[in-house]
Amino acid sequence: MKSVNSFMSRIIKRNPGEPEFHQAVQEVAESVLPYIEDKPVYVKTKILERMTEPERVIIFRVPWMTDSGEVEVNRGFRVQMSSAIGPYKGGLRFHPSVNLSTLKFLAFEQTFKNSLTQLPLGGGKGGSDFDPKGKSDREIMNFCQSFMTELFRHIHSDNDVPAGDIGVGAREIGFMFGQYKRLKNEFTGVLTGKGHSYGGSLIRPEATGYGLVYFVLHMLKLHQRSIDGKIVAISGSGNVAQYALEKCIELGAKVVTLSDSSGYIYDQNGIDADKLAYVMRLKNEERGRIKAYAERFGCAFVAGKTPWEVNCDIALPCATQNELLEEDAKMLIKNGCFCVAEGANMPCTPEAIEIFENNDILYAPGKATNAGGVAVSGLEMSQNALRLSWSRAEVDQKLQEIMENIHRTCIQYGYQPDGRLSYVQGANIGGFIRVADAMIAQGLV
Ligand code: GLU
């Protein structure tokens, strides 16, 4: 613990005002520092010190014009965290909360997540404090084109391949891909999450949500349990939540909640496939609020709250970072929840995770459970490089294998001296080793 404290005080001093980055590093340091203690090869080469320093950070101005002719200025970022095992890889987030701290935490997490997939993917993340909410398609296009007009000189299919994240979906990727192609005069796989007609992989839209549920199946199987008939609480209503919900329905679970930044809906009858089709229309086309679901289907809408107060067996936080707090963790346990798996990045606070681990709740962190999205992005890169397209069944099969492998890695490194399994420890150490060994092999770079 002493070495974690001194490691963290250095991190905090060197990265002031970046609480999310400190939080992500602390969680990894708590697993990795005890692991490397008796392995001088990692200590002498200062691997963790180097991993917590981005290889490069690009910050740029993004000017654009609204439909009414107003000039707006946003800030764009790309954090190129690690290229030890492959080109920088990770999404772009457009949200008013985006700042350097958020993107450094995300890029750091991404490095471990990508390593866990076993694919050749380094770690990166980017985005802007631009708020897509309420903007017209033309304003979104103006912004995306301006953003790419700077970013294009820093990325390439062989060195940095962004994708989507919060606020960046197929529409935004399309606009950015178009602008990149125009500026560079080349048609390459420089972004993933593209539309299928211009190089996108089948199953990429579904991959994060499906992968999350595939991982949960392995967690349950280890304890001779199944998902069939279980009550599931999901937060969020975007890409990850939608496809986690779809897979849960297919496997016979009953999902009772969805949420957005204004509150959550509680549908005790369960959200079925028709209701999901409505949610997809509402969120992806009309870009409306989840409250409309409650009005349409006559169920409860709880304003200003997250879903962690409902009765459920399984909780899947799929909204955003730090959305599940200590008191939520206690409430979930009180209400019978026995499994928590993260669809979002870092949705549970450290205090909540401690509650789960101390109460023997099956808990697994996002860098393991939500890796399916970036994994299929990796498969999209392979298909683009080969200039061909794999079938849905082929990609889904590979996704299932990757999630099973990640679960196996967590088990390999996650057992603690008292015999308890910590998916946090397993994911952190499993992700660390591959990047660390590549860094050592490549010398002091
Ligand atoms: N933003 C996603 C994540 O958090 C996907 C990144 C990608 O596909 O590159 O992993």
Q: What are 44-67's pLDDT values in tens digits?
A: 999 999 999 999 999 999 999 999
Mean pLDDT in residue range 82-98: 98
Ligand 1 centroid to Cα of residue 159, in Å, is: 16
Cβ–Cβ under 8 Å, residues 217 and 244? no
Structure tokens at 46: 């200062």
Q: What are 123-172's pLDDT values in tens digits?
A: 999 999 999 999 999 999 999 999 999 999 999 999 999 999 999 999 99
Helix (H/G/I), strand (E/B), else coil: 348: strand
Q: What pLDDT sits at residue 357?
A: 96
Helix (H/G/I), strand (E/B), else coil: 215: helix
Out of 377, 379, 383, 402, give the residue to mutate to test ligand 1, the one with the largest number of ligand atoms within 8 Å of its CB.
Answer: 377
Ligand 1: list residues with CB < 6 Å: 89-91, 110, 163, 165, 192, 345, 373-374, 377
* Distance between CA atoms of residues 102 and 19, nearest Å: 8
Helix (H/G/I), strand (E/B), else coil: 342: coil
Ligand 1 atom at minimal distance to the Cα of residue 164: 1
Q: How far is CA 270 from CA 91, 257, 276, in A?
A: 31, 8, 10
DSSP class of residue 201 equals P
pLDDT band with cut points at 50, 70 and 90 for residue 1:
low
Q: What are 267-307's pLDDT values in tens digits?
A: 999 999 999 999 999 999 999 999 999 999 999 999 999 99
Q: What pLDDT sits at residue 393?
A: 98
Q: What pLDDT sits at residue 177?
A: 98
Out of 81, 110, 115, 194, give the residue to mutate to test ligand 1, the one with the largest number of ligand atoms within 8 Å of its CB.
Answer: 110
Residue among 362, 321, 327 nearest 341 (CA): 362
**What residue's CA is closest to ligand 1, atom 5?**
374
Percent of the chain whose pLDDT exceeds 90: 99
Percent of the chain whose pLDDT exceeds 70: 100
* Distance between CA atoms of residues 217 and 420, nearest Å: 19
Q: How much is the mean pLDDT over the chain? A: 98
Q: What are 3-51's pLDDT values in tens digits?
A: 999 999 999 999 999 999 999 999 999 999 999 999 999 999 999 999 9
* Distance between CA atoms of residues 439 and 82, nearest Å: 10
Ligand 1 centroid to Cα of residue 304, in Å, is: 27
Going edge to edge, which strands form the sheet with 71-82? 56-65, 71-82, 123-128, 88-94, 160-163
**What residue's CA is closest to ligand 1, atom 10?**
374
Q: What pLDDT sits at residue 360?
A: 96
Mean pLDDT in residue range 323-352: 98
Strands 123-128 and 160-163: unpaired
* Distance between CA atoms of residues 422 and 427, nearest Å: 9
Ligand 1 centroid to Cα of residue 234, in Å, is: 19
Residue 23's CB is within 10 A of a number of other CB atoms, namely: 16
pLDDT of 421 higher than 70 = yes
Which residues are part of the catalytic machinery? 125
* Distance between CA atoms of residues 366 and 373, nearest Å: 11
pLDDT of 189 higher than 80 = yes
Q: Terminus-to-terminus CA distance in the chain, angstroms?
A: 29
Ligand 1 centroid to Cα of residue 146, in Å, is: 22
Q: What are 220-267's pLDDT values in tens digits?
A: 999 999 999 999 999 999 999 999 999 999 999 999 999 999 999 999
